[in-house]
Structure 1
Amino acid sequence: MSTPLAVTQNLQGFGTNPFWLDLIKMLGVFVFLVVMTLFTIVFERKVVGRMQNRIGPNRVGPWGILQSLADGLKLAFKEEIIPVLADKPVYFLAPILSAVPAFLAFAVIPFGPTVSMFGHHTPLQLTDLPVGTLVIFATASLGVYGIILSGWASGSTYPLLGSLRSAAQVISYEVAMGLSLVAVFLYSNTMSTSGIVAGQHRLWNGIPLIVSFVIYAIAAVGETNRAPFDLAEAESELIGGFHTEYSSFKFAMFFLAEYINMVTVSALATTLFLGGWRAPVPISLWHGANSGWYPIIWFVIKVVLILFVFVWLRGTLPRIRYDQFMSFGWKVLIPVNLVWILAVTAIHVFQDRGWPSWEAVGLPLVVVLLVVVVPALMVFEGAAARKAAELAEDDEDELEYAPTFPTPPLDLAIPRPPRQLAATGARRRPDELAAGDSDSTETTDE
């Protein structure tokens, strides 16, 4: 179940490259993120358009693929409007605090194995650390400071409320996301991203750690403020949320940070649960699938598939209530995560002590099922029954105090138009006949 620690902690190849080679890889990561942002915006509009029986962008460039580039140029050259009551230093700093951490998180994401670049053998990864996954988690969470400061510095009520909402939901779902990574660390015996990918050469972590994968996926949607969890940008309540008072290039930076965060959490899910840059099973039978520059293709395909799930959720699910959203994070995701971590830890300990695989896996799962899952389901059913009884009692009270004022009859016949009656030759009632005669008289006078 686990990989030897000495293998996964081998970080050779990092920190020994020439400075100019690191600059090339930094430029490559930057270009990749910008291109993925432009692609994701058009991809989302096209996919949602098809889901809603619309065409989507089709004017700028072939098939409308340059629409996001045109939008970015438009935002960069638009007139900037700064509120009079804004705290200008913080107002200018907030978009930077949102965009820069989104770029930094990709520094430890592995794109592929070791390749030859300009005569040097280097991994397709900017850098790595023994705690590389925590670096991604820490840098991605810094974006909430930009959200909070943008709402406070705008000097307006609705952006402030949107920033508070966003901060609350990001912090809440960061807890669930962080706990979902613990099982991956226990299973892989390492926190470095390259070591986690190396440990998935036989089996992707998403299969044995399916519970962690599902929780991470839900928390990632809540972390990035995407539908159905886009409560910080609820137009019907908060106009646009924390960036309501921003325009021009500053608004574009918030937009850029949101989509880069989507790419970041998708790349992290690919690295932790979907084998990273490794090819899927049918393609991996080819000897050269996981060597050279080909793994970049498998990595990008996996990231795009996860981005499609983001878009799919936006085009399918309605926005939920804020109290339901927060209750789901604190009362469902976190308790399930804690129980799952206990089970994975027990399996890990039993296997280290030499237990057979079926006993090491089966015993903790049976204990969790009998001690935690069954009582939790019983409590849930009891709560649902009590709530149903309360609703039935409320309905009885409403019927008891029903209104006594008169209501109009519901069987009133609507007269048919005279021309339709004349065309069909139907027999008309006296009131319809009088109405038809008056209409014909008015037509003759005209």
Structure 2
Amino acid sequence: MTRAELLADDPLWLILLKAVVLMLIGPIMTVGLILADRKIIGRMQNRPGPNRVGPYGMLQSIADAIKLPFKEQVIPDTADRKVYFLAPVIAVVPALIGLAAIPFGPEVSIFGERTVLQLVELPVGVLLVLAGASIGVFGIVLAGWSSGSPYPLLGGMRSAAQVISYEIAMGLSIVGVALYAQSLATGQIVDAQRSGWYFYLLLPSFVIYVISMVGETNRAPFDLPEAESELVGGFHTEYNSMKFAMFFLAEYTNMVIVSAFATTLFLGGWMAPWPLSAIGGGVLNTGWWPVLWFFGKMFILLFGFIWLRATLPRFRYDQFMKLGWKVLVPAALGWLVLIAAVRAIRNQGNVSTGQILVIGGIAIVVIVLLSLLLPERRVPDEDSVPITGGGYPVPPLDLKVPETTPRRKALKAKAKSATKRTAALTSAKEGSDDGNV
């Protein structure tokens, strides 16, 4: 039976059990990742991480998770309350849904029922995961807009531009995998890698995807939407308490999803690595062992997120956009053309796939390096605004700052009404005193 047929025969109690486990993966791994983030970065930067709550600080994330729901909620006066409350939910829920199409293992037995370790096997499962990872940006944009403050709005706009830019490169990197696997179903993509994992057969696609997934999740060095050095705190400046925690939950859950997706597309999914896969005729690729291999590969990618945050400085926004639009997207398009040419040549000649891919990969690397190293030629424009500040544009000198803001208007109106009420009460009191006299 195929994976789809096995899943179709699952009883209701088994479907609910899988759904509950998938919903718990995000919050549980978020607690562990926040602790690992702080401890590993502390070790890399030669400083102590959390070391007060529990043995070796192991309970710090649990203490934070207990503290945040009980903190006082402060809502800006100018906030759109309905959207303000809804935005964190929009950011979290799609992130949790994306795990439904990820195959965590092969056919197993759960309480005597034969099934596969996957919730749904869709013909377009890849698109479901991409949609779940990208829809969360609406929550970020709405959070910035509904706060009624300029800096969160700027952070939300940056996040929208960032996700659109890197979503294109990510989608193009996945097209090569779909061409080789001849399917968009995640389970079939894993099965197609039995003869070779795609991370070395499609190395440029893997590199583009890894860079794009860091930009997609707003992680350093691409964490421009929440760059506290530029935008106070980004889109969640006006959030606190449990709603602030939900944005952290969405960020770390998205990290888990894109890492699990990379494992599925490029690292053989739940299949054991080469030395272990040859033991006992592939016995380690059966039963519950593959769950260990899947999470092991995923944890390696998650460690890469932490490593990047500890070592690389933050990009400037223009550098960040240049990398996405001028490097990743053209490289992905050129690589797709090469893949299509390889498949056409293979159908007509005796040239091996490896030889063509190696030559094409070297050519693409050379083109990308030349595009990065060669200086840009700028044509002077007579009507252009003069540029100062070391070659970077600055705001015009006649920029007018608004005299007031919506928040100040609301506060002034509130203070004015309070003054009127006080004057009315005072006059009423004086009148009553005069009558008593």
Deviation at 1:199, TM superposition (A): 1.0
Change (3 A) 1:145 1:35: same
CA distance in 2, matches of 1:97, 1:145: 7
Helix, strand or coil at the partner of 2:375: helix
> 1:136-182: CA deviations, max 9, x gaps?
00121100100000000000010000000111011100000000000
Change (3 A) 1:19 1:328: same
CA distance in 1, matches of 2:369, 2:34: 41
Query: Which residue pairs with 2:87 in the alignment?
Result: 94
2:378 is aligned with 1:383: no
Letter of the 2:349 counterpart: W
Change (3 A) 1:335 1:245: same
Change (3 A) 1:255 1:382: closer
Deviation at 1:25, TM superposition (A): 0.6
Query: Which residue pairs with 1:266 in the alignment?
Result: 259
Answer whether contact 1:172 1:326 (CA < 8 A) is retained. Answer: yes
2:41 is aligned with 1:48: yes
Helix, strand or coil at the partner of 2:198: coil
Change (3 A) 1:335 1:74: same
Deviation at 1:11, TM superposition (A): 2.8
Deviation at 1:302, TM superposition (A): 0.9
Residue number among 309, 315, 324 corresponding to 1:320 in the alignment: 315
Change (3 A) 1:54 1:346: same
Query: Which residue pairs with 1:279 in the alignment?
Result: 272
* 1:288-303 to 2 correspondences below 5 Å: 288-303=283-298
CA distance in 2, matches of 1:247, 1:116: 44
Residue number among 190, 197, 201 corresponding to 1:204 in the alignment: 197
* 1:132-211 to 2 correspondences below 5 Å: 132-211=125-204
Helix, strand or coil at the partner of 1:207: helix
Task: Give the TM-score normalised by the residue count of structure 1.
Answer: 0.81
Change (3 A) 1:379 1:201: closer
Deviation at 1:346, TM superposition (A): 1.3
Deviation at 1:73, TM superposition (A): 1.0
User: For the pair shown, which has the larger CA radius of gyration, 1 or 2?
Assistant: 1
Deviation at 1:259, TM superposition (A): 0.3
Change (3 A) 1:155 1:386: closer
Residue number among 249, 263, 269 corresponding to 2:242 in the alignment: 249
CA distance in 2, matches of 1:308, 1:379: 30
Residue number among 61, 72, 76 corresponding to 2:65 in the alignment: 72
* 1:418-429 to 2 correspondences below 5 Å: none
Answer whether contact 1:30 1:103 (CA < 8 A) is retained. Answer: yes
Helix, strand or coil at the partner of 2:50: coil
The percent of aligned pairs where both chains have the same amino acid is: 54
2:104 is aligned with 1:111: yes
CA distance in 1, matches of 2:275, 2:165: 39
Deviation at 1:63, TM superposition (A): 2.2
CA distance in 1, matches of 2:242, 2:371: 52
- The answer for unaligned runs of 5 or more in structure 1 is 1-6, 388-393, 395-446
Deviation at 1:297, TM superposition (A): 0.9
Answer whether contact 1:347 1:361 (CA < 8 A) is retained. Answer: no
* Aligned pairs, number: 379
Task: Give the TM-score normalised by the residue count of structure 2.
Answer: 0.82
